Each structure stands twice: as C-alpha cells, then as structure tokens.
Amino acid sequence: MLLMSFKTQVQNLAFPPVIIFTPTLENYQNAFVQNPFLKFSINSFVVAAGSTLLGLLVGAPMAYAVAHFKRQDMAFFILLARILPGISYLVPWFIIFNTLQLIGSYVALILTHLTVGLPIITWMLIGAFEDVPSELEDAALIDGCGVFATFRMIALPLTTPVMISASIIAFIFSWNNFLFSLIIAGPDTQPLPVAIFQFLSYMNINWGGLAAAATLVTTPTMIITLVAQRYIVSGFSLGAVKG
C-alpha cells in the first residue's frame, strides 16, 4: 500500500509490476488539493475523541458498579453488545436520528460510534476494577467516603493504565469505523474512512490516490499505538482482559 501511494497510475497498473521506480508525491498532493482531507481528518478526530470521552464518562462508572456489586449477569449483556454485528444497531439508530433530524450531525456520529467503543471500555474496566484490593475500598468506606468518593479517589487512580489502554482501543475502532459513518454522516461531517470511498468509481479506480488516502488514515492510529504502547501493554497486564 505504501509503495503504491508513491507510484503513478500507469506504474500501478503495469504488468509485470514495476519494482524500481521514481517516487512521486502526486497522489498525496491530489489528496489534499482535490479533496478537503484536512476537514475529513478533523471530522474523524472530533467523532473518535468525542465517542471515546463519552464512553469513558459512561463506561467507567458502569464498570465499577458491575465489579463492585458482583453483577456478572450485567457483564454478559455488555459483552453481548460487543458481539452483535454493527448493522443490527444501524437501522434503529437511523430511524431515531432521522426522526430527530440529526442525520449528518456530529451528535449522531458520536452516539453511533459509542455503541462500538462503550462495550470495549466497560468490559476492560470491569476486569481492572475487580483487581482493585477490596481492603483499600473498605478502608475508604470506614473513613467516611461514599461509594462515588471511593470510586473517584481509590479505584480510578489505580486503574489509570487500563483506562488509557481502553481509550486508545476505542479511539482506533471509532477512527476506522466505516459502516456507521457511511450511513449517518453528511457532506460536512464525513470522516476519513468515508472520504476514501471517493477514489472508487464505476469506470476506474485511482489506485495511487486510494493507497495514499489509506496511508493517511492509518498513520495517526499507528503513531498513537507506538507512542502509547507501554500503556496498552500495562493495561492488559493489569487484568483488563479476563481469560
């Protein structure tokens, strides 16, 4: 994919394949000049960051409640929400947002992407909160802290690596989501995965432009993963995933 992005259309379609060639930045220039790729990137960031932040605000208390009160039946339903295919959520979401006239808005995109990120965040944090020593929580309750204060001052600081790990994974899932964005997004809120679709047509496929656009889409998530790799590994090792 990376090599194709630096080739011309003729070189990409040549047979036998062109191995030695002079790299060109034409595909990347066309991606930014002929298409508002910067705008698409901002849309992707707003939707991914918004859904991840909202997923943390909702998922962390939910996960703590499930872990604290030993409600494993609720944990099963949270996992079930992740197992179900995304298309099963799409039709109800579309009907709701169409009724509320929210199709094409950031709110609609963030809420639909939340159905992907929220189960991931909640499921990972359930395992993390279960590993928090109960003695610390009991000591906080004896000292006069309520359940919410114990959650805020004891549980959250001890599970920070897991929260970072879950947030990164949810962000990547949202950033790469195509199906929800294709149906719910409007012309002004299209994220990057939908923008790549513009390089496909019935008559021709711009392979160089498609490869350049795909490279631009995957590069931010690769950078985030490499930079935060330590937190991701630490989050998994702290019991975020139950075997």
- Residue 205, beta-bridge partner list: 200
Distance of CA 178 to the CA centre of its chain: 11
pLDDT digits (tens, 9 = 90+) for 139-194: 888 878 888 888 888 888 888 888 888 898 899 889 988 888 888 988 888 888 88
Angle between helices 87-99 and 106-130 (to 10 degrees): 130
Q: What is the pLDDT of residue 235?
A: 61
**Terminal CA-to-CA distance of the chain, rounded, Å?**
35
**DSSP codes, 174-188:** HHH--HHHHHH--TT
Phi, psi of 200 (to 5 degrees): -105, 140
How confident is the model over 55-67, as pLDDT tens digits? 999 999 988 888 8
Contact indicator for 170, 117 with CB cutoff of 8 Å: yes
Domains of the chain, CATH where assigned? 2-6+36-240 (1.10.3720.10)
